[in-house]
Amino acid sequence: MQRNPYNKNKQEAFQAAQQGFENAQGLFETIVSDSASYGHQLKHLKNEVNEAYQQIENALEVASETQRAQLERFQQDLKQIVTEVNDFQ
């Protein structure tokens, strides 16, 4: 029996959000605007960003204060990615 499943869920939610953010960030860094597959890459990036936002929102519901601060930074960084992609198009 687990002593405190709430803390485990909190950590798992944070790790999922962090992984989602890192996936979106990594994909953003590899997109090549003049590539023949740019449109496909952009669609994939949008899906990753949306998934990361959802994971972050879920994690924020159970996050500690330390985790909350990091999750909010992830949100800001994702907003910057969206802004850069929109400016680039």
Question: What does the alpha-carbon distance between residue 48 and residue 44 come to, in Å, rounded to a whole number?
Answer: 6
Task: Specify the 3-state DSSP secondary structure of 63.
Answer: coil
DSSP 26-55: HHHHH--TTSTTHHHHHHHHHHHHHHHHHH
| pLDDT tens digit at each of 89 positions of the chain | 444 565 678 899 999 999 999 999 999 999 877 788 888 999 999 999 999 999 999 999 999 999 999 999 999 999 999 999 888 76
pTM, entire model: 0.84
Question: What is the rounded CA–CA span in Å between residue 78 and residue 59?
Answer: 15
74/28 Cα distance (integer angstroms): 14
Q: Count of CB atoms within 10 A of residue 66's CB?
A: 9
